[in-house]
Each structure stands twice: as C-alpha cells, then as structure tokens.
Structure 1
Amino acid sequence: MASYVIGDVQGCFKQLQSLLIEIQFDPKLDELWFCGDLVARGPDSLATLRFIRSLGNKAKTVLGNHDLHFLACVYGFATTDPKDQLDELLQASDLPELVDWLQQQPLLHFEPERNLLLVHAGLAPGWGLQSALDTAAEVSQVLRETPETLFAVMYGNTPALWSEVKTNEDRWRFAINSCTRMRFCLSNGALELKEKRHPEKVSTLIPWYEFWKHRPHPQIFFGHWASLMGYSPVEGIYALDTGCVWGNCLTAYCIETAQRYSVSD
C-alpha cells in the first residue's frame, strides 16, 4: 500500500486523472491525501468532487479556503465569483450530497501512529499540536451540526494571535485562518493573511513553517502556497501546491518512498 499526498486540485480534474495514471494509483491498495482546495478556479469542480467522494475511505482530505467559501456560498453567506467557475457544481442534481460530504471533511487530518499531519495552509506559531487539533475539531463539529453559526462569523482577519482569542467565534476564525489562509506571520507570530509571494521576495515577514523549525512537530503536508512551487526548507514540512490551476503542474508525494510526481496536462 502507498499513500500519496496531492496538492491543490482546484477543479483541475483532467490533470488529477493524469497524475493518478502517473503514480499508477490502485484504489484497492493505495490511498490519496488531498491538501484541500478541491474546488474553484479550475474548469471541473463538479467532476473533481464527485470523483474524490467516490473513493470513500481511500481518500483523506482537509478543507481549504476555497472549499469553505463554496460552502458559505451554498448557505447564502457569500457570493460566488465568475472566475471560480462554480455554476455547474451549484446547479448539479447531487449538490446536497456533495455539500454534505464536504461538510464532513476536517481542517486537520492527523495520524498519530505515523506522526503525519495534513493541513491546507499551516499551523499557527502560537499553537501547540494538541491545541491545533482540539480547535480544528471544534470547528469541524460546528460545520457539521450548525454551519450557519460558523459561516456568520468566518470571514475576517482577527484575532491575529492565539493569545488574543476571547470568544468561541474568535477561536473558530483563528483556526480557519491558520489552517486555510495563512502563509506568512509577523515576527511575533501574528498571522499575516495578504502576502502570497515567494519568501525570497518578501523581507519583512516570516513563513509560518520557520516558526516550527526548532520545535517538535509531526511530518506536515500542506498546500495553498502556489508560489512556493513545492519548496519548503524545513525538515519534515512538505509543500505540495505547485500551481496547477495557474498553468503549472499538479504534484503528488509518496509518503513511503519520499518520491514526487508531477503532471502538467
């Protein structure tokens, strides 16, 4: 059996199928881990969701910012952008089933036996692993049981520090921003949620993973940061978003062999 971690698909269903051929994926033996952002911007979010859902327990996925925004749109708390190409998905006959399935997916997937963690964006510097897991689980429970409660308070950039969290709503928003939106932080660990460039082009901010460089951490697999193109200098932290939806490639990483595979069409 092999486990493959796949970067942001974002509706690039054709490239996903090409990548599965490249890795010789066997659904009877192998499993796929998806870094989130299954939908939006690419041409075939509907086929992507249907396929990943059809894999059952052979697919593990976490939610990305585009996935959460799509759900918020379904529930009437946000509006779609035409460039997200979500009309076909929103008009699908099986939309309720797909929405229900997506709501069951977590912000974090952790396997303590292998000490592996899957997240879309990253782990905030102010967190320990257990506080991250506990807070993410709380968000997942609210998303499953009372999604309107979550979407009503999901959007916003504060609090930027875990130490500034005061309320349930603060805690949920901080978890969502850390797990699905963060790339850089300020020197004090505060989340910075706007900058998207490669770290070599940004001198005033610190990539989130640098804060974990000298701290015990599981092997962390993340997506979200396309400009990294798979680059992460911290041992045991792996970047998987290689910008497929922007005309680059879709990447898979085999956990057992540490081999990367990429396709561009």
Structure 2
Amino acid sequence: MAQYVIGDIQGCLTEFQQLLNKLNFNPGTDTIWLTGDLVNRGPQSLATLRLVKQHDGCMQTILGNHDLHLLALHYGHGKLKRGDTISDILNAPDRTILIDWLRQQPLYREEQDYVLVHAGIWPEWNCKQAQRLAVEVETVLQNNPQEFFARMYGNKPVRWNNNLNGDERLRFITNSFTRMRALTVDGAMDFDYKGMLADMPSQLMPWFKAPARQNTDKTILFGHWSALGLYHQDNVVCVDTGALWGGSLTAYNLKNGSVVQTPSQTKLNFEN
C-alpha cells in the first residue's frame, strides 16, 4: 500500500495518467492526495475532474483557487479570464453533479503527521486552529454558496486579526489556504510575487519562513507555487513543479520521501 501526494494538475490529464502509470497506481490499495487546482489553464479540465471524482475513494483533493474560480462561475460570480479552460465543464451535461462534488471538498486535510492544503497556512495559526478556520469557510461554502462566492474575490484584508468577522474573515481564511505565497517583512500577504525563491525581494519572505511560525509540528504539503518547484525544508513539502508551464508533474511518496515525475507536454506563457 502506497500513499502519494501529487501537485497541481490543472487539466493536464495526459501527464496525470502517465504519472499514475509510472507509479503502478493500484486504486484498490494505494491512495493519492491532490494539492487542488484540478482544473483550468490546461487542455483537459473536464476529463480530469471526471477522473478524480470517479476515484474519490482513493484520490482525495482539497480546493485550490482555480477550483474555487470554477465554482464561482457556476454560481454566477466572477468572470472568465484569458486562458481559462473550464467552459467545457460549465457546458457539460453532468455539470451539476461535478460541481456539487467539487463544492464538498475541504480546504484542509490532516492525517497523522501530514497536513494537505493548496497554498499554505497562515503562520500565526497552529494546525488545530487552521483546521477549525477551514471548517468555517467550508460550512458557508456548502450551505450558502451564492452568498460565499458573491464576496469571495478580493485581496483584503492582508493581515489576520482574531476579531475579523463576516466577509472579511471568510475572505482572509480562503486567501490564506488557496492564494498565499509571499508575506511582507511586517507580516502582510503579498499577492504580486509569484517568482523563484532565489529572486524574492528582500522586503518579502515565503510564508513558511515567517518568524515564530506556529504550524511546524506537522509537515505541510502544498502546491500553488510552481516557481518554487519541489521544495522539502522548513517542515513543508511543495510538489507543484509546473506541469502547466513546461516543467513536470510530481508525485511525492509519503512513506519514504521518494519522488516520481513525468515531464510536461504543456507550456503556457501567461501567469497563473
């Protein structure tokens, strides 16, 4: 029995299937955690979503920002962007079934010493607090999606405060789990920087290097930051290695730390 975590697929179905073949994946015994962003920007979003849903007993995902974007569009909020490849889902005969399944996926999964999120965990939160806050968002998302998506988009607030409430509280929690990469040195989220760690300006730091970070008791598995690439330090493992951008799709074995990759057949030129 093997357990793997695989980085952002984003509709790159060919690479995903090739990687499963390399792993000799057995859906009867093996399990896979997916870092979210199953869909969008890649060429086969609909087929990818259908495949993961079909195997949801052994393939478990969390919600990424592109997954949330798809859900928002379904509920009449947000706008299709240049390069979006989710119209086939919105026009599919099984659209409602797929959307209802996707909407039930969490922002946070935990098993033994591992936590799975899409982008990260706010440094001031310990894992128990992060799990509780994820449930706050998931509850609204599952029970009142129209209200949630009407107010989801936006970059503010950029700092956490325990007294945040309402839309600002939900937006900050959502952005932390699904959009965060860099923080300013004075502790605010920065949504502009998407580059490599070596090129990061001195006034910024990756979220996982924040001073006095409170969630180092478990290994946090995440994707979202393709320019960071495969990264295994600081009690985190990033497995987004840019399958969408000409890099590779990566599987990380949770049992022994080994890595299996398949090269990308997709290369896009706009930002993610």
TM tier relative to shorter chain: over 0.9
Aligned partners of 1:109 and 1:117 also within 8 Å: yes
CA-to-aligned-CA distance 1:186-208 (integer Å, 9 cap, x gap): 12322111210112111220100
- CA-based RMSD of the aligned residues comes to 1.5
Q: TM-score, normalising length from structure 1?
A: 0.95
Task: Return the offset for 1:151.
Answer: 0.7
Q: TM-score, normalising length from structure 2?
A: 0.92
Rounded Cα–Cα distance in structure 2 between residues aligned with 1:147 and 1:56: 22
1:139 is matched with 137
Tell me which amino acid in the other structure corresponds to 1:252: A
CA-to-aligned-CA distance 1:173-218 (integer Å, 9 cap, x gap): 1111100000011123221112101121112201001127865321
Tell me which amino acid in the other structure corresponds to 1:228: L
Tell me which amino acid in the other structure corresponds to 1:191: M
Task: Return the offset for 1:160.
Answer: 1.2
Rounded Cα–Cα distance in structure 2 between residues aligned with 1:166 and 1:176: 13
Q: Does 2:31 match 1:40?
A: no
2:184 is matched with 186
Structure 1 residues 54 and 243, CA gap change in structure 2 (3 angstroms): same
Secondary structure class of the residue paired with 1:227: coil
**Where do 5+ consecutive residues of structure 1 fail to align?**
none
- Calculate percent identity across the aligned residue pairs: 42
1:62 is matched with 62
Tell me which amino acid in the other structure corresponds to 1:218: K
Task: Return the offset for 1:82.
Answer: 4.2
Aligned pairs (5 A) from 1:182-261: 182-202=180-200, 203-211=202-210, 215=214, 216-234=216-234, 236-261=235-260
2:19 is matched with 19
CA-to-aligned-CA distance 1:140-181 (integer Å, 9 cap, x gap): 111111001111111111111112752121221111110000
1:31 is matched with 31
Rounded Cα–Cα distance in structure 1 between residues aligned with 2:211 and 2:28: 36
Runs in 1 of length 4+ with deviation above 2 angstroms? 211-217
CA-to-aligned-CA distance 1:85-120 (integer Å, 9 cap, x gap): 112111111000000000000111112xx1210000
State which drifts further: 190-199 or 79-88: 79-88
State which drifts further: 121-130 or 239-248: 121-130
2:108 is matched with 108
Rounded Cα–Cα distance in structure 1 between residues aligned with 2:185 and 2:162: 16
Rounded Cα–Cα distance in structure 2 between residues aligned with 1:124 and 1:145: 25
Match of residue 167, structure 1, among 165, 176, 185: 165
Task: Return the offset for 1:128.
Answer: 2.0
Secondary structure class of the residue paired with 1:93: coil
Rounded Cα–Cα distance in structure 1 between residues aligned with 2:23 and 2:183: 35
Tell me which amino acid in the other structure corresponds to 1:42: G
Match of residue 148, structure 2, among 144, 147, 150: 150
Structure 1 residues 174 and 214, CA gap change in structure 2 (3 angstroms): closer
Rounded Cα–Cα distance in structure 2 between residues aligned with 1:213 and 1:243: 30
Rounded Cα–Cα distance in structure 1 between residues aligned with 2:132 and 2:213: 22
**Where do 5+ consecutive residues of structure 2 fail to align?**
266-272
